[in-house]
A and B are shown apart, each in its own frame.
Chain A
Amino acid sequence: MKLLLIMASNYFNTLVKFARAGLKRNDKVSIFFMANGTYCLLHDDVKKLAEEGAKIYYCAHNANQRKIEPQPWAESSSMYGLSKLISENEKVISLS
């Protein structure tokens, strides 16, 4: 299954649990960080999720506003990119 997690809050542990559960089921897991959720990009566990196979996207504008530096394991995206991801995935969970 293609699973998209949208992270716009600080429910970080919930996000990690959802993502790991998806990866364990061999789901194709994508995570989109936006708004204050972009602060999670600073967390080591997000890098680990990327290494475990999750595809990481973030709103470049939201990250830039918060002075969060781009990470090589995360793909710069936008609200338009998010709209495409939503239409491409079978399940979407928004943590906001």
Chain B
Amino acid sequence: MQIDRELDLKGEVCPFTFVKSKLIIEQMDKGQVLRVILDYKPSVENVPKSMEMEGQEVLAVNQIGENLWEVLVRKVK
């Protein structure tokens, strides 16, 4: 899968994880994929939820380390 933008949010907590993700995805074109790196479990649950509420497509939430996750989001609108 092609990743168009990557956002490393290690060390960030809610609500900044979603706010920063939203600001980036607003700059992207429809169809592009954003990869968000998170190390805060509550954000791993809620960034994808909030993205879906915003009308974006969450492609995957993968654990990639002991306390590290990636969220893949395709911009739909």
Contact = CB atoms under 8 A, between A and B. Distances in A.
A27 B24 CA distance: 39
Given A61-B43, A78-B42, 11 more contacts: A59-B14, A60-B42, A61-B42, A64-B41, A64-B42, A76-B42, A76-B45, A77-B49, A80-B15, A80-B50, A84-B53
Given A80-B18, A81-B53, A60 B13 contact: no
A79 interface: yes
Contacts, number: 40
Interface of B is mostly: helix
B64 to A, nearest CB: 20
B46 interface: yes
Looking at chain A, what size class is its interface with the partner chain? 10 to 19
Given A76-B42, A76-B45, A60 B50 contact: no
Q: Which has the most chain B C-beta neighbours within 10 Å: A61, A77, A78, A79?
A: A78
Interface of A: 59-61, 63-64, 76-81, 84
15 contacts: A59-B14, A60-B45, A61-B14, A63-B42, A64-B41, A64-B42, A76-B42, A76-B49, A77-B46, A77-B49, A79-B14, A80-B15, A81-B46, A81-B49, A81-B53
B12 to A, nearest CB: 11
A76 B40 CA distance: 14
